[in-house]
Structure 1
Amino acid sequence: MNKKIVILADSGSDVPQDFCEAHDVFTLPLKVIYPDREYTDKVDITSEDVIARMPQEIPKTSLPDGASIVACFDEIKAAGYEQVIAVTISSGLSGTFNMVRMMAKDYDGLEIFVLDTKNIGIASGLQAIRAVELVDSGLEFAAICQTLENEVFKNKVFFNVATLEYLQKGGRIGLVTAIFGTALKLNPIISCNEEGVYYTVAKSRGRKKSLAKSLELVKDFAGSSKKYRLAVAHAGAKEEAQAMMERLTTLLPNAVERYFGEISPALVVHTGPGLLGVGIQVLD
């Protein structure tokens, strides 16, 4: 591995913690804000903590402030790195990309590239994992950055929410139609479009059919690919998520890696409990 290059990902990218530890990936945490105090995403608050306080309390979230970003850069520089690939959730959903880019522009002592993944959650995290793979391959910094930009749209997440209430209240509804008619029990499958904004990919009647449709969409996205990474992430829906991973493994057996986990507390704020998402990264 090139010891001069390091990967930095915001906490909304949901790079698995054990992967971060094994590959020295730095994390830039978002903020979860309740009236009584502010929490640091994944540091002093968990997804379970947020879910336990819902629906009575729905906190706000915020992107990392300039001082936090600079402190992170300082830590990276002190560790002896010279070049940084910062991976952030979509600029269409968060100001994190622009804030990190702005701080990077005026920071001395590090060469910093900031990737707008046009995605969120594990679909953004898969791009950080890809960045580590490219660094390990020995590619030069500029070539890694170009490859990552070229491959942004080879990553996709499809997710189901139990209710659209939290996306609405958080102002993250994007192009998703807020009213689906509860009597029809229409469940939207949501993803990010090319601008990195939420949109409805498909609608199914009932959650079971919606989850089955998500599997179809992932298979369609994989197409004829023989090499890809898969991920399943959830918020308070572990059993469903495990069942989804089992079905995904049968449906798409050629995955080079599979990842499973919970989404970050900051993302739970905007999706609510019951989220189940499937991420795919095409590698050929």
Structure 2
Amino acid sequence: MDTSRIALVIDSCTDVPPADVERYGMYVVPLQVNYERESFLDKVTITPQQVYDRFSEEIPTTSTPTPAIAREVLQRVVDDGYEQAVIVTISSGLSATCELMRSITVGMPELDCCIVDTKNIGMGAGLVALAVARRLADGATLDDLRRDSERIVESTKVFFCVDTLEYLHKGGRIGNVTYAVGSLLDMRPVITCNEKGVYCTVAKAKGRRQSLKKAMRCAEEAAARYPRCTMAVVNGDAAAEAAEVKHELEQRVHNVDAWYEGQISPVLVVHTGPGLIGIGVCGA
């Protein structure tokens, strides 16, 4: 395929599977995982398992890519002969990565960029990136993507369940009352991103199994809005459970052109802890 006219740049938290990163020649800008004494590049110098292994010692923080690394990746795009690029990032409502990339491109007039704020996280953002990749492979221009990217974003949703609210609470993503009540009653939220790209609860259920059923129902309803769609099931140290969820969905959703699966990034592990199951749907 000839996608050489326009480069595709993503951030590491879009969670595009490595095989698809390679297939479409994507450039990846890594976010950071920060411990008290050292920092790591997401998916480059730290793995999800290493984050899990250190949870008992320290819960790290996360941050956007450094400006130097982001600029280095974009300079590599230019050095590889590109004059145009689509940059796909996780939600500006959850991270400053999108704004960082926007500010850096202002200082690189030699690279004409279309920046796509997915208003999503993890593989929700990844499904947007993959939809863009397919459009580029089909010959879309930068103007086409500027016109179509909002539709792609609006047609994409992710629903996820966590095994504990502890990490969302410590990261400031949920309040004290929600955390206390949810933990006491074992009420599990099904979380998505709203139209502003920030976390919101779309359903609640008592216990793990019921929350997963509600997440699957949400995904099934989202997929039913489109003639055809792509879907993803991702996990945080819960591969066997994710495989069961995917198998159930395959029996119930019959308009799926492609399935994706994998582990969430170390940065997302920090905010969700072990046991996450995420289901993404893209109707573009």
Name the TM-score, length of structure 1 as normaliser: 0.96
Amino acid at match of 2:11: D
Judged with a 3 Å threshold, the aligned counterparts in structure 2 of structure 1 residues 224 and 150 are, in CA distance, closer, same or farther, namely closer
Q: Which amino acid aligns with 1:278?
A: I
Output aligned runs, 1:117-196, within 5 Å: 117-173=118-174, 177-196=178-197
Give the deviation of 1:174 after TM superposition.
7.9
Task: Give 2:96's aligned amino acid.
Answer: G
Structure 1 CA distance for aligned equivalents of residues 53 and 275 of structure 2:
12
Distance 1:175 1:116, change over 3 A: farther
* More off after superposition, 119-128 vs 54-63: 54-63
Distance apart, 1:137 and its partner CA: 1.3
* Inter-partner Cα distance in structure 2 for 1:251 and 1:69: 41
Q: Deviations for 1:118-146, whole angstroms, at most 9, x for unmatched residues?
A: 00000000111011111111122111222
Checking the alignment, whether the CA contact within 8 Å between 2:165 and 2:182 is kept in structure 1 is no
- Contact between 2:165 and 2:183, CA under 8 Å: does it hold in 1? no
SS at structure 1 position matched to 2:86: strand
What SS class does the counterpart of residue 7 from structure 2 fall into?
strand
Contact 1:176 1:198 (C-alpha < 8 Å) held by counterparts: no
Alpha-carbon separation, structure 2, partners of 1:31 and 1:65: 8
CA contact (8 A) 1:175 1:200 kept: no
Residue 180 of structure 1, CA deviation: 2.8
- Residues 233-258 of structure 1: CA deviation (Å, up to 9, x unaligned): 11111110010111111111221110
Shift of residue 171, structure 1, vs aligned partner:
2.1
The equivalences for 1:27-106 within 5 A come to: 27-106=28-107
Give the aligned partner of residue 256 of structure 2: 255
Which stretch of the first structure deviates more once superposed, 266-275 or 108-117?
Answer: 108-117
Q: Does residue 1:197 correspond to 2:198, yes or no?
A: yes
**1:108 CA drift (Å):** 2.7
CA RMSD of aligned residues (A): 1.5
Per-residue deviation at 1:224? 4.3
Extract unaligned runs of 5+ from structure 2: none
Q: Please give the per-residue CA displacement for 1:204-227, whole angstroms capped at 9, x wherever unaligned.
A: 011001101111101111224231
Paired residue type of 2:251: T
Identify the residue that residue 17 of structure 2 maps to in structure 1: 16
Equivalent residue letter for 1:104? T
2: CA distance between counterparts of 1:185 and 1:173? Answer: 15
**Contact 1:85–1:113 (CA under 8 A) maintained in structure 2:** yes
Letter in 2 for 1:73: L
Contact kept in structure 2, 1:175 and 1:197, CA below 8 Å: no
Q: Distance in 1 between matches of 2:177 and 2:204?
A: 11
Look up the equivalent residue of 1:112 and give its one-letter code: C
| 2:226 paired residue number | 225
What is the distance in 1 between the residues matched to 2:166 and 2:199? Answer: 14
What secondary structure is seen at the aligned counterpart in 2 of 1:129? helix
Contact 2:114 2:142 survives alignment (8 Å): no
Amino acid at match of 2:101: V
Which secondary structure state, in structure 1, belongs to the residue aligned with residue 183 of structure 2?
Answer: coil
The C-alpha deviation readout for 1:190-216, integer Å capped at 9, x for no partner, is 000011000111000110011011111
For 1:80, the aligned partner's letter is: G
Deviation at 1:183, TM superposition (A): 4.0
List 4+ stretches of structure 1 deviating above 4 A.
Answer: none
CA contact (8 A) 2:15 2:126 kept: yes
Q: Which runs of 5+ in 1 are unaligned?
A: none
Cα pair distance change 1:175/1:168, threshold 3 Å: closer
Q: Over residues 58-104 of structure 1, what are the superposed CA-to-partner deviations in whole Å (9 max), with x where a residue is unaligned?
A: 01111012111111111001111111111000001000000100111
Q: Distance in 1 between matches of 2:82 and 2:174?
A: 38
TM-score, L = length of structure 2: 0.96
